[in-house]
């Protein structure tokens, strides 16, 4: 594998971040500096942490640490999705779809944490 961009987890996380970006364009303007920026930041950070970790994959502890950070950001994104639903900014079916995608990313990240030697 030549690039972190080839990882299934990265592709799915990037797709999710872009979907969140598009959906948050419809959020109220008063949320721009709180919910909107937070959910965009956390969803994008999943990808950036994967990119950083992949470059250091020969150092297993560093790789696991960065992938763990990606997983943490993914979990944070789920919290912001819950707030988005509770504030009625997204419908329940949209929330469920995005949460499901995020959970899949989480499973893939967990595999990377549990089996880092697969990514050397």
Residue range 66-106, pLDDT digits in tens: 999 999 999 999 999 999 999 999 999 999 999 999 999 99
CATH number of the structural domain spanning residue 104: 1.20.1440.60
Q: Are 43 and 20 in contact (CB under 8 A)?
A: yes
Positive or negative, the Cα torsion across 4, 6, 12, 14?
positive
Q: Which token pair is 120?
A: 């050397």
SS3 2: coil
Containing domain of residue 104, as a range? 4-119
d(CA 51, CA 72): 15
Q: Are 47 and 13 in contact (CB under 8 A)?
A: yes
Structurally, how many domains does the chain consist of? Answer: 1
Tens-digit pLDDT profile for residues 35-77: 999 999 999 999 999 999 999 999 999 999 999 999 999 999 9
Supply the pTM of this predicted model: 0.94
């Amino acid at each position: 594998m030549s690039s972190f961009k080839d990882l299934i987890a990265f592709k799915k996380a990037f797709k999710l971040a872009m979907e969140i970006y598009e959906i948050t364009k419809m959020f109220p303007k008063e949320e721009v500096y709180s919910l909107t920026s937070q959910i965009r930041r956390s969803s994008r950070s999943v990808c950036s942490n994967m990119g950083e970790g992949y470059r250091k994959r020969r150092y297993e502890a560093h790789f696991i640490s960065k992938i763990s950070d990606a997983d943490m950001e993914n979990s944070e994104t789920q919290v912001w999705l819950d707030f988005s639903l509770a504030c009625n900014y997204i419908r329940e079916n949209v929330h469920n779809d995005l949460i499901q995608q995020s959970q899949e990313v989480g499973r893939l990240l967990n595999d990377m944490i549990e089996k880092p030697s697969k990514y050397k």
